[in-house]
Structure 1
């Protein structure tokens, strides 16, 4: 893995921290960037738009397989329009495979919810540090609701723990 990206605790006081209790899966990774002016939403949109093709191919395969099990087709992670003005995003808008739940300059919270599981993803940024950098944290929290949700997470959890740091490493240092 990239040495710039390291596991960390879900930052206290973030919007996603309210969803950690009782979760069946929690993953949180951090890196640092000198892009101090970029908002949390801008970071997330650029990360999703830069999704490697092989990850979107995995999503396509996932969508075909889980449809047989009664889960919904999420589409592609990288299906993001970078020409859309950031200020036009509103709560409940779609961002790739997720729905926007909250958006502040320092944190964006998205989710995908269904009868089997709820997935929450947050990208948060810290205040600018003395060296001009900001800490960027991507945290994922999953609550499963039934056996199918738990079964789904068996292969997804290790793949997520590989892909999340890989994606976060794409944020310029």
Structure 2
């Protein structure tokens, strides 16, 4: 179901996931870490994604779901994030030079997002993976709407990275 490659650390969280997806992009590479790429992606999120996020927060708050904040709610100039730090809408739970895993969880959902980078000379493969565990009916209803949107948002966001 998930298609998350075995070399991506997030794969270990994909058992019994109710939603998962994986998107890959080739980029020029100049020594960036996975965290550098994650911050670059968050800093260049398309404006329409920000609009959807604000709409999501209004609807979610009315339904009793957590207000996540916005993609803009982080310091793009900060580079010394550590495991446990809040980075935008997620909390970092794992970091290595080649992968960063972010998480947000509440009583309805457990969402984990990974950015993995596989350097190969002057280019690299960026793999953006997501795993969601729904905990109840409200979580399932939420993912019914968000799941299809997610499959559009992640590729559009990755397309903001430099092209080969």
Identify the match of residue 116 of structure 1 among 102, 108, 120: 108
Alpha-carbon shift at residue 61 of structure 1 (Å)? 1.1
Cα distance between partner residues in 1 of 2:125 and 2:46: 23
Picking from 106, 123, 135, the partner of 1:145 is 135
Of 121, 137, 147 in structure 2, the residue corresponding to residue 157 of structure 1 is 147
Tell me how far 1:52 sits from its aligned partner.
Answer: 2.0
- How far apart in 2 are the matches of 1:128 and 1:112? 31
Distance in 2 (CA, whole Å) between partners of 1:52 and 1:31 is 16
Q: After TM superposition, what 4+ stretches of structure 1 lie above 2 angstroms from structure 2?
A: none
Give 1:80 deviation, angstroms. 2.6
Report what 2:161 is aligned to. Answer: 171
Alpha-carbon contact 1:66-1:72 (below 8 Å) kept: yes
Question: Contact 1:29 / 1:139 at 8 angstroms: preserved in 2?
Answer: yes
Structure 1 gap segments, 5+ residues each: 1-7
Aligned partner of 2:46 in structure 1 is 52
Contact conserved, 2:93 with 2:102, CA < 8 A, in 1? yes
TM-score, structure 2 as length reference? 0.93
- How far off is 1:127 after superposition? 3.5
Q: How many pairs align?
A: 162
Question: C-alpha displacement at 1:13, in angstroms?
Answer: 3.2
| TM-score, length-scaled by structure 1 | 0.89
Q: Tell me how large the CA RMSD over aligned residues is.
A: 1.4
Please state how far the C-alpha of 1:79 moved relative to its aligned partner: 2.3
Aligned residue number for residue 35 of structure 2 = 41
Distance 2:42 2:56 in 1: 17
| Alpha-carbon offset, residue 78 of structure 1 | 2.8
Does the CA contact (< 8 Å) of 1:100 and 1:111 recur in 2?
A: yes
SS in 1 for 2:115: strand
